[in-house]
A and B are shown apart, each in its own frame.
Chain A
Amino acid sequence: MTTDVPVLDDEIGVGDYQYGFHDPTDKYVFKSRRGLDRDIVHQISEMKSEPMWMREFRLEALDLFYSKPMPTWGGDMSELDFQNMFYFVKASQGQEKSWDDVPDDIRKTYDRLGIPEAEKKYLAGVKAQYESEVVYGSLQEDLAKQGVIFTDTDSAVRDYPDLVREYFGTVIPSADNKFAALNSAVWSGGSFIYVPKGVKIEFPLQAYFRINTQNMGQFERTLIIVDEGASVHYVEGCTAPTYSSDSLHSAVVEILVKRGGRCRYTTIQNWSNNVYNLVTKRAKAYGDSLMEWVDGNLGSKLTMKYPAIYLMEPGARGETLSIAFAGKGQHQDAGAKMVHCAPYTSSRVISKSISKDGGRAGYRGLVKATHDAHHCKSNVVCDALILDSHSRSDTYPYIEVNHDNLTIEHEASVSKIAEEQLLYLMSRGMSETEASAMIVTGFIEPLVKELPMEYAVEMNRLIELQMEGSVG
């Protein structure tokens, strides 16, 4: 049995993080040198045989990246060394349609993460990205026949140039922020999804992101277009080995939900504690559509992520459910942005953050309404649970509204696990750890019950893992 699993990193101690193993990297097809410059960007573009417009897009973005200062708010990024990273690592020749064709080491990783199993049971399609590129992809045949496109973004640039060119970079311009610029310069992999008019995809499409190399930068780029009256649920999961030095994950996710469409994007982020997770996610929701972000952040060293929804036309609705769990050495600066650009739009944010063992979890959110966005409604509820006295929770709600003709509600609460709650559960035979985990599970239950069963189970299991041995 032990010969079947990848190498466990015994030297540095993977602790409680069960995805901390890493695979050998000596069979990789290509690995760029450390650091970032124009040559690296050229090299990435070359490797992908991209059209000229994309190469120019990258080079422009690189200049923007250089010109933009680091954010001075959020988390501590002083140890983030852009020149020490590997920006492009290609682990296998190409994308396979059968798990049997995926190189052994890589396939075993996904086996261990349970992806092929999940695919058989309840997924409509899967993408597995390993390092910089997607190594496996599938989509149910009947969906392909209905015109659904689910491919990696590299292939999409090649195979669907018109669609990609029309929308790529339109929701999040390269100039949006330093990390969006960085992603635009060196992006690789990610999912491209197109759901044609009226097509409703019943089961989720899932993408799985895995970083294996130390000091790796993963920059996937996802573009989802939900056409009129169509619907899709997209799920992403993320893990990485536990190394003693840092990796960077900086994705850009752009979504368009057209009139009457519906898109739910669920993230279960479980990076190891040495990954900077600095992600820009934004959706534009058109008339009578619904966009939902379900954002679970359990891993990483520092996460800065504020999924945004721009409500573009009357009747558009946006909803963000956010769970952030910060343990030892972790800082989760998570949140949501709701921008009401049209009248009669509505938004809702529910955020639950948990901090323990010195971790820091917070909510940073923006609700904004343009001057003609009258009759809008927005409701923001953020609750924080702090498990011990040396952990921390922050709430930064920003509201930018220039007129009165709308309703904005904001509620925030911070609580600690009361001694009385622990006593009550323990006096019914539960250990302290079990009792704390039960209280935490109850705290996030209003969000977890929104998830499909499989993900709810996964989320509760991850919470329990986070809680184990944490109390004392």
Chain B
Amino acid sequence: MSSLLKITDLHVSVDEKPILKGVSLEIRQGEIHALMGPNGSGKSTLAYTLVGHPKYEVTSGMIEIDGVPLNDLDPCERARLGMFLAFQYPVTIPGVKVADFLRHAVTNIRNPARKEGESLIPMRDFRKELKDRMEELGMDVEFARRYLNEGFSGGEKKRMEILQLAMLQPKFAILDETDSGLDSDAVRVVSEGLRKLAGPQMGVLIITHHERLLEYNVPQFTHVILAGRIVETGDASLAHELHNHGYAAVRQRHPAEAAEEQEHQKVAPKAVAVAH
């Protein structure tokens, strides 16, 4: 049976400021969902909340995987249950080699009951697997020896996120603007990479402003978020329409949320930065 990520009436605040105001969403393994919306509408907030960023406080509502509530779990426990976020701004971890980091991560994810200090997956198998995945993504295997994201270009960082996705094979992958800030070649590599990875075993939520990622990975569902609520859900053609015509029509169809959005931006112009 395929797994289900279920989000029910989710309310989230950052520094006591409400950002999400009742988001409900169901994603099954094997499905591709797109989440679109103007800046500051709460897309990244949803992404961070799902993986358990401590700054994002769930004030009400529920997140579950196959009926197991995630609300009180830390990011590590959520990851071990199959949640993955490709970060919009991956951080640098100086001195930690990509290969060492990934070997720890892969061991923990594949053996969720592992305690600290217990042995890691065999080096030989791991090396081969890593090398294969890197080649598939067109990455120089030298990257395995570099320090995690240190001195990486924007494109290299995003590719590193996709490599992690490939190695960890989560049940649910959230891609937070993985295609932003990339040149068109890099977008193609990332898009193709994702297409290879997303299969019946993975549910994908793609957060994007662009269409390119969605051309390679056609969503069955497109959700539009405005002022912290999902106001519309459609198919791939909705994403196409938003890309071509922007959000003016959506705002017209949902004047209450549009007004709230304006209010919100007046009161707290910095909320956009926080939501990153």
Q: Which residues of A contact B (CB under 8 A)?
A: 418-421, 423-435, 438-439, 441-446, 464, 468
Which residues on the A side are within 8 Å of B51 (C-beta)?
423, 427
A421 to B54, alpha carbons, bound, how many Å? 12
Instruction: Given A433-B116, A438-B104, A439-B96, answer yes or no on A426-B74 (Cβ-Cβ < 8 Å).
Output: yes
Tell me if A429 and B116 are in contact (CB < 8 A): no
A and B contact pairs by CB, cutoff 8 A, 16 listed? A418-B91, A419-B54, A423-B53, A423-B54, A425-B93, A426-B76, A427-B51, A428-B101, A428-B105, A429-B76, A429-B109, A430-B105, A432-B74, A438-B104, A442-B94, A445-B95
Nearest B residue (CB) for A424: B91
* B75: contacting residue among A418, A427, A444, A464, CB under 8 A: A427
B79 to A429, Cβ gap below 8 A?
yes
Q: Is B41 part of the binding interface, using a Cβ–Cβ cutoff of 8 Å?
A: no
Tell whether, in the assembled complex, residue A421 and residue B75 are in contact, meaning their CB atoms are under 8 Å apart.
Answer: no
| 5 shortest interchain CB distances as A-B pairs | A442-B95, A445-B95, A429-B108, A442-B96, A426-B75
Checking B76, B93, B168 against A438 with a beta-carbon cut-off of 8 angstroms, the contacting residue is B93
Q: Give the residues from 97 to 152 in chain B that come closer than 8 angstroms, CB to CB, to chain A.
A: 100-101, 104-105, 108-109, 112, 116-117, 147-148
- Alpha-carbon distance between A419 and B76 when the two chains are bound, in angstroms: 14
Residues of chain A contacted by B147 (CB below 8 angstroms)? 442, 445
* CA distance in complex: A339, B74 (Å): 51
B55 within 8 A of A: yes
A441 touches B75 (CB 8 A): no
Chain B residue numbers with a CB within 8 Å of A468 are 116
Complex contact A424–B90 (CB within 8 A): yes
B-to-A contact residues, CB < 8 Å: 51-55, 74-76, 78-80, 83-85, 87, 90-91, 93-96, 100-101, 104-105, 108-109, 112, 116-117, 147-148, 164, 168
Query: Which of A421, A441, A443, A445 interacts with B91 by CB under 8 Å?
Result: A421
A445–B96 CB distance below 8 A: yes
Q: Is the interface of A mostly helix, strand, loop or mixed?
A: helix
**Nearest residue, chain A, Cβ from B54:** A419
Using A418-B91, A441-B95, A445-B95 as known contacts, say yes or no to A428 and B116 having CB atoms under 8 A apart. Answer: no
Closest B residue, CB atoms, query A352? B95
Instruction: Report chain B residues within 8 Å CB of A444.
Output: 95
Question: A427 near B108 (CB under 8 angstroms)?
Answer: no
Q: Is the CB of A428 within 8 A of B93?
A: no
Which residue on chain A has the smallest CB distance to residue B114? A429
> Which residues of chain B are near A419, meaning CB under 8 Å?
54-55
Which residues of the other chain, A, contact B85 by a CB distance below 8 angstroms? 427
Tell me whether B55 and A430 are in contact (CB under 8 A): no
Whole-angstrom CA separation of A464 from B104 in the bound complex: 14
Chain B residues positioned under 8 Å from A430 (CB to CB): 76, 104-105, 108
Are B93 and A431 touching (Cβ within 8 A)?
Answer: no
Q: Besides A420-B91, A429-B79, A430-B104, 12 other CB < 8 A contacts?
A: A419-B54, A424-B93, A427-B75, A427-B79, A428-B168, A430-B108, A431-B76, A442-B93, A442-B94, A442-B148, A445-B96, A464-B117
Q: Which residue of A lies closest to B87 (CB)?
A: A424
Smallest distance from the beta carbon of B15 to chain A beta carbons, Å?
A: 13
- Residues in B whose Cβ lies below 8 Å from that of A428: 79, 101, 104-105, 108-109, 164, 168
Residue in chain A with minimal CB distance to B94:
A442
Q: How far is the CB of B164 from chain A (nearest CB, A)?
A: 7
B116 contacts which chain A residues (CB < 8 A)?
Answer: 431, 433-434, 468
Q: A146 to B112, alpha carbons, bound, how many Å?
A: 56
* Chain A minimum-CB-distance residue to B85: A427
Q: Which residue of chain A is the closest to B55 with respect to CB atoms?
A: A419
Rounded to whole Å, the gap between the CB of B223 and the closest CB of chain A is: 22
CB-CB nearest in chain A for B90: A424
